[in-house]
Amino acid sequence: MLTVTSFTFSPVQENTYVVYNETGECCIVDPGCYFGNERNELKEFIQTSGLTPKYLLNTHCHLDHVFGNKFIYDTWGLTLHLHEKEKPVLEYAPTFGLSWGLPFDNYKGDLIFLREGDTIPLGNDALQVIFTPGHSPGHICFYCQAQQFVIGGDVLFHESIGRTDLPGGNFDTLIASIRNQLFVLPDDTVVFPGHGPQTTVGYEKMHNPFLKGL
């Protein structure tokens, strides 16, 4: 059975997730740890919990979701998994960081590309890759069907949706991703978003002001 632990990091208040089970294997999703104390907090949690990091996963590669990629690689030697269309977004992230006054050292290692329907196994558990572009061109989510939760990145938030005014964003594409990829999941599916509190698919169907009538 998978457990999801969240951390809120950086001045952008991004949610980083560690997903693990009784085997001790874990995924690190969107490490947004920017400051040294944040990196230490994440490392200490993993070590004191007796976890063995197996995957480094990015839902997408906007700067706030990739601040800690290099740290994860340097610490545990994990190769970055992402969608192929996010490669140019990743490469541009340091330039974007400078414009935000948040310079950082980018991950420059090998890349493993994920596609719709791919599976990330953790022991007897698994996360399924869902392709959800719109906020960024290669955005993906990680869905656990057995426990009905999704690590959703910046697609769907509590009573909000991802912005589409950044390079590669598209409002109509984002709405289609929510309608066709997330709103087809069971209503009690828990959404762990890239920012803010967790929510559920059913709650957002009923209360999200951006998605009325969807």
Alpha helices, H only, the chain = 36-48, 63-66, 69-76, 87-99, 171-177, 201-207
Q: What is the pLDDT of residues 90-111, one digit of tens each?
A: 999 999 999 999 999 999 999 9
Q: Is the pLDDT of residue 212 over 90?
A: no
The DSSP secondary-structure symbol of 137 reads T
Domains and CATH numbers, the chain: 3-211 (3.60.15.10)
Q: What is the pLDDT of residues 154-207, one digit of tens each?
A: 999 999 999 999 989 999 999 999 999 999 999 999 999 999 999 999 999 999
Residues ≥6 apart with Cβ < 8 Å to 178:
132, 134, 155, 156, 161, 211, 214
- Residue 70 Cα to chain centre, angstroms: 16
Rounded distance, CA 59 to CA 131, Å?
9
**213 confidence band (pLDDT: 50, 70, 90):** confident
Q: Write down the pTM of the prediction.
A: 0.97
Give bridge partners of residue 8 from the DSSP assignment.
Answer: 15
